[in-house]
Structure 1
Amino acid sequence: MSEPVILAETRAGVRTLTLNRPDRLNAANDALLLALTEELRAAEADSAVRVVVITGAGRGFCAGQDLGDVSGRAMTFTEHLEHTYNPLIRTIRGLGKPVITAVNGVAAGAGASLALSGDIRLWAESASLIEVFSNIALVPDSGSTWFLPRMVGYSRAFELMALAERVNARDGLRLGLCEHIYPDETFRQDVQTYAERLAARPAHALKLTKQALAAAMSSTLDEALDREAELQQLAGDHWEHEEGVTAFKQKRAPEFVREG
């Protein structure tokens, strides 16, 4: 019986989804992409899951598209993206729970896009990112043209894409491609510890925060202000807000996780 292409584990409210093709540096084929999308949707529906972590097995995060998987296929490039990568990226960005991309090694091509798609990006010291598309005369896809310039600016993004320059972890942190770097030997536990901190935060408020940020990326200030007012009412009517205020008055830590 073959190994599953996605390994799923839940601990302390954190669902870790591990890309599991280590012999191929977790290069993406259709089975992996579709399975990851389904696992994300399952995590969305599971009330026990408060945070999702996406990482890779072995020494790579994701080496991009497995070119052997697309050779001779009947689909066009556009059809393939619309069938696999685009639904995956939309699912990640639209998930009502925080998504951490834990980059444990190389993230190349579409794997770079996946690495950049997280709400929070944590890198191991040995991690690297490369927009490798121009090496085979293709255009960056799977969201890279949206994510990267918003993080590093237009000109730097174009340079990284045009020259296919590899970005190491230290430069990734300096450029804003990740929030934290952890030692390779403790990376997985450090990611779990960080994710558990996030899982202890108010889930409903964070869901609304994701919605507000996503909309604000393409809205005017007036539109953002109006949306904040609407979402703030939803947050204020939720039990989490009452708990936060009560805990503040009682000078104790709030308890935002309820059993059952």
Structure 2
Amino acid sequence: MTSETGYTTIEYTVDGPIATILLNRPHARNGFTTRMANELGAALLAADGDDDIRVVVLAGAGQHFCVGMDMADDEGMDDATDPDWVEPATRVVRPMTNLNKPVIAAIHGAAVGVGITMTLAADFRLAATDSRFGFVFARRGLFPEGGSLWFLPRIVGLAKAKEWMISGRLFDADEALAAGLVTSLHSPAELLPAAYELAHELATYVAPVSAAAIRRSLITMSGAPTPEAAFALDKKLIAGALTSPDLREGIASFLEKRPPHFPGRITTDLPDLT
């Protein structure tokens, strides 16, 4: 296992094909700061640029995943009047959205405000049974951030998104699961093992190039008014895949009943998705 230095609000470690990004301000219940936003964005880009990394796990140190913005101590606050300013949650969610690796968020304790919106671009949100959630912006005189006005209705539907965001109320893990906000529930002790079990499954059996193309294309196609754009992309992708080494390996490993060893690399083999 290797650990990157230079971060002060997160920890970034790599263990084989899995990168872990750990929110690491437990003394402040992992309260979100501008510095944390910048460091999370940098860590996501670091994972994306390493072909040996297949999956990213996002978790939190201490008793809570993230209680939202730390209003008392916003480390690294910058000038919001600058024309080039980027809203802090977007600094995390945008690179996560465009990432070429699956992202698993392991959520425990409180995930409130940006503590939940920053995870909406993840592919899997596993939650502990003790977790609680809240899009509390209206109760603070604030507004939803990190593209959550786009993501949340697509995940749970417009009616539920309106209910949660307009009321700003807290809700528990069972309600989050029933609405589809989280993928699965686990006891607090089993949350991280479950996240890493899923991460190892993805890293072992899923072709990295396929995963990248799928997760990015799903976002792109979610806004298409008809399936015609998807039909056109399918034609291009499938035509190229028919002669790809990844397809040959996928078929061979299936027939030989063994784990696959996909040769495709995202940095050199990802097809044009436009």
TM-score between the two structures when normalised by the length of structure 2: 0.86
Q: Give the total of aligned pairs.
A: 257
2:255 aligned residue:
249
2:268 aligned residue:
none
Letter aligned with residue 44 of structure 2: L
Q: Does 1:155 align with 2:155?
A: no
Structure 1 residues 230 and 87: CA distance shift in structure 2, 3 A:
farther
1:181 aligned residue:
185
Q: Map 1:211-226; keep pairs closer than 5 Å.
A: 211-219=216-224, 220-226=226-232
Structure 1 residues 78 and 19: CA distance shift in structure 2, 3 A:
farther
Q: Does 1:208 align with 2:252?
A: no
Separation in 2, partners of 1:57, 1:80: 32
8 A contact 1:61–1:111 mirrored in 2: yes
SS at match of 2:144: coil
Structure 1 residues 63 and 217: CA distance shift in structure 2, 3 A:
same
Letter aligned with residue 247 of structure 1: S
1:43 aligned residue:
47
1:240 aligned residue:
246
1:228 aligned residue:
234
Q: Does 1:120 align with 2:120?
A: no
Ranges in structure 2 where 5+ consecutive residues have no aligned partner: 1-5, 266-274
Structure 1 residues 78 and 186: CA distance shift in structure 2, 3 A:
farther
Q: Deviations over 1:142-174 (max 9, x none)?
A: 122111111222122111111112221111111
Q: Report deviation, 1:228.
A: 1.8
8 A contact 1:149–1:157 mirrored in 2: yes
Q: Map 1:1-260; keep pairs closer than 5 Å.
A: 4-70=8-74, 75-76=79-80, 82-200=86-204, 201-219=206-224, 220-250=226-256, 252-256=257-261
Q: Report deviation, 1:3.
A: 7.8
Runs ≥4 residues deviating over 6 A: 77-81
Structure 1 residues 65 and 236: CA distance shift in structure 2, 3 A:
farther
Measured on the aligned residues, the alpha-carbon RMSD in Å equals 2.4
TM-score between the two structures when normalised by the length of structure 1: 0.90
Structure 1 residues 193 and 78: CA distance shift in structure 2, 3 A:
farther
Identity over aligned pairs, percent: 28
Separation in 2, partners of 1:174, 1:144: 19
Q: Report deviation, 1:116.
A: 2.0
Separation in 1, partners of 2:194, 2:16: 14
Q: Report deviation, 1:77.
A: 7.6
> Which structure has the highest helix share of the two?
1
